Chains A and B, each alone.
Chain A
Amino acid sequence: MLRRTIPIIILSATGTMLVVAYFSPFTLSWGETVLDWFNILAAVAFVLGAGNLLAVNLEKVSSRKAGWAYAAITLLSFAAMFIFGIFKVGAVPNPSAPDVHLAGAYEGLPSAFGWMYEYVLSPLTATMFAMLAFYVASAAFRAFRAKNVEAILLLGTAFIILLGRTAAATLLTGWIPVDSAFAVLRLDNVTTAVTEHVSTAGMRAITIGIALGVAATSLRLLLGIDRSYLSKG
């Protein structure tokens, strides 16, 4: 009962409520309440994520597993950032309530939290993603082989996009007059045509396919047919 029936009822009730709220203005406020609770749980999920991270890393440190020093750095940096943020260390006072310390702005400089964001979190996140430029180059060199028609189409399109979406388009085919009959051969026009008609058509079909899949899965969940989530406990 507690482990199976109630979760199924909770799921069906909340889901159905939202679907009904979409069609009926009378149940709109119920739907809003559900969404409000959902937002709160989304914030709780951050706490859960942090808790998980702490548990894993504390375990690593206490059992002196390989690389425990890195786990300790993670824990320390977490603790520092957490204290800076929760206690709003060095926060700029709120002009409409300067006497209430916790009403201050903690995210921007010169607060400690803001400093950590600006000079630690921001460069680290940005550089992590910038690394992908290197890997994409290496992967393209190793894995992109024109072995059959499909691969040639993929590569050809990639080349058109890579050239057409830079100044190369103008440099290579800019000499073709815009108002001539051959203007369609200008690389920028080819790029637009490929994106607008061909790749958008493919993407549209993918979108329709995903929509059907999502709708079916949602329906299976709401009707209690799909109960795989019950094993997550």
Chain B
Amino acid sequence: MTTDEHNTAGGLRAQLARVSNLDRRWIFLAMGLAVGVPILLKLRFPEVPGPLAIATFNAIEAVPEGSRVLIAFDYDPASEGELQPMANAMLHHCASRKHKMVFIALWPLGKQMADETIKNVLLAFHPQYQYGTDYVQLGYKAGNESVIKMMTTNIPQAFPSDASGKTLSELPLVADLESVQQVELIITFSAGYPGAKEWVQYAKSSYPDDFVLVAGSTGVQANQLFPYYPKQMEGMLAAIKGAAEYEMLVTAKYPVTKDKERFEEGRRRMGPQLVAHLLMIGLILLGNVAMVAGRSRQSRGGQGAVR
């Protein structure tokens, strides 16, 4: 190596080593752009439904038409980005299968999410749904897993009234509902504790054959839930990818004629997702290259050590 070449290589190495000290605001800006620009450009990529989404779709399809379904909204606005697309598509799926739905929430803000979904999906796309006979909102109840446990034996004691203050016996859909074993399908949109894990632990494991359990899970929680699939949980959607795939399956079988974008939220978010993932990989690689460069500089005489 000539001296010049040596200097150039050393200069590049020095530059790379200095990258380690990059002001993190530039990284923030890069992340903001990686997510923001694809949203503005409406970047879309083709998605192919994976085995998990197909299994989840089939699990719900296998439940007889017109069954009673319990839907738990166990999330809050912090996870709306991931779970709302799943909730939208699943409510449309259930309504297309003419299921009767009972809504509850184990998260204090979950009832708001449920109300929003009922208004935007159930009543907007299936206006024939009548309160009391086709769907009931039981609302939020404090107590986490204790509420689930109680629902396996005595729903009227846990919920003396629905969210609007009506006694359960006055509402035909839930008048005879004593326990969750009487429903055919339980769906939980789960963002953490309490959520899908607790539904498996306190309901499904004790009554494995009484109902089908399906979960929509955030990315953060998904790994924790994989061991329960498929024996303790017949289906699960993991993160926004799961939502996007499931949206495709549902709208392919049960197409909508208006406001299609309501069931494209998941797919819409996969565009920024890809770009941001590539940025993440790029950042990790860059960080490692900078480390190697810094190390080799260090070994050459201790100059420019990178902390």
Contact = CB atoms under 8 A, between A and B. Distances in A.
A175 interface: no
Given A107-B115, A137-B279, A203-B224, A167 B270 contact: yes
Contacts of B128: none
B39 interface: no
Interface residues of A, number: 61
Contact of B276 (A126, A133, A195): A133
Interface in B78-104: 78-81
Given A39-B150, A137-B280, A199 B223 contact: yes
B255 interface: no
Q: Is the interface of B mostly helix, strand, loop or mixed?
A: helix
A35 B46 contact: no
A34 to B, nearest CB: 9
A134 B27 contact: yes
Contact of B46 (A39, A170, A199): A170
A111 to B, nearest CB: 12
Nearest to A205: B227
Nearest to A130: B81
Contacts of B35: 133
B226 A140 contact: no
| Interface size, B (range) | 35 or more
Contacts of B31: 133-134, 137
Nearest to B228: A207
B234 interface: no
Contacts of B141: 39
B112 interface: yes
Contact of A167 (B30, B46, B108, B164): B46
B48 A36 contact: no
A128 B78 contact: yes
B158 A96 contact: no
Interface in A139-170: 140-142, 144-146, 155, 158-159, 162-163, 165-168, 170
13 contacts: A32-B153, A108-B115, A117-B112, A125-B109, A126-B78, A130-B81, A134-B31, A137-B30, A145-B287, A159-B284, A188-B48, A199-B223, A203-B226
Which 4 interchain pairs have the tightest Cβ spacing?
A: A39-B143, A167-B45, A43-B142, A129-B78
Interface of A: 22, 28-29, 31-32, 35-36, 38-40, 42-43, 45-46, 94, 96-97, 103, 105, 107-108, 117, 121-123, 125-126, 128-130, 133-134, 136-138, 140-142, 144-146, 155, 158-159, 162-163, 165-168, 170-171, 188, 192, 195-196, 199-200, 203-204, 207
